[in-house]
Amino acid sequence: MLIINKSVTLFADLKFNLKYTEMKIIKKALIVLGILVAIPLIIALFVKKDYAVEREININKSNSEVFEYVKHLKNQDNFSKWAMMDPNMKKTYKGTDGTVGFVSAWESNNKDVGKGEQEIIKITEGERIDFELRFLEPFQAVEPAFMSTESVSENQTMVKWGFSGHMNYPMNLMFLFMDFEKMIGEDLDNGLKNLKQLLE
């Protein structure tokens, strides 16, 4: 009987020790997991949340000719890389193109194009057009953009195209893995080269 009692006691002690060991392992695993989750969240506190990209090109045409062309949103279909990404995208328009309040909307099944709209929010005649880009799918964001023109000479105009954006915490962590400025900059460069070719 004594042997049985000792065996039961040993078994109970072993069971308790195993449970205690399991709990220690689980506790350590949770601590490690908590640290792994906390590290990127802490890093994101020190990562920028805003970015701005601007590119420029000289076009051998007068400022008035260039400005008259770029202030019309529909003309972006002829030079913007983004507008050319899906030839089957659905386009709708509201208002009078080339005036404040005109809205150009797009919708595409291509996930890289998605759905959104662009509105002319300000025009400084002969100098600058400000737009508001409203992305709806696959993500939601409202970002400003602009195009400006400046006479270099009577028959040469410098065109600038700019875009800026914001990414909230902790999504701003993506800036560590993706160079948005480079990607958007390349698209703006391509668009401006297309514009130069069109107008010259």
**3-state SS class at 29:** helix
**Can you tell me the distance from the alpha carbon of 12 to that of 24, in angstroms, rounded to the nearest whole number?**
18
What single-letter amino acid sits at 62?
S
- Identify the CA nearest to 66 among candidates 146, 148, 143: 148
For the chain, percent of residues with pLDDT exceeding 70: 78
For residue 147, give the 3-state DSSP assignment.
strand
Mean pLDDT to the nearest integer, 98-111: 92
Q: What does pTM read for this prediction?
A: 0.71
Domain residue spans of the chain? 1-46, 49-199
User: CATH class for domain 49-199?
Assistant: alpha beta
Residues 6+ apart with CB under 8 A from 100: 120, 121, 122, 123
Of the candidates 78, 145, 148, 75, the residue with the CA atom closest to the CA atom of residue 116:
145
**Is residue 9 scored above 70 in pLDDT?**
no
Q: Residue 64: is its pLDDT beyond 60?
A: yes
Whether residue 122 contacts residue 132, with contact meaning beta carbons closer than 8 Å, is answered with no
pLDDT bracket for residue 124 (50, 70, 90): very high
* pLDDT tens digits, one per residue of 170-181: 666 666 666 667
Q: What is the mean pLDDT of residues 126-153?
A: 91
Task: Inform me whether the pLDDT recorded for 15 exceeds 60.
Answer: no
pLDDT of amino acid 34 = 73
Confidence bin at 6 (pLDDT 50/70/90): very low
Report the half-sphere exposure of 88 (CA within 13 A, side-chain side). Answer: 3
Query: Is pLDDT of 65 > 70?
Result: yes
Q: Quick one: how far is CA 107 from the chain centroid?
A: 17
- Identify the three-state secondary structure at position 200: coil
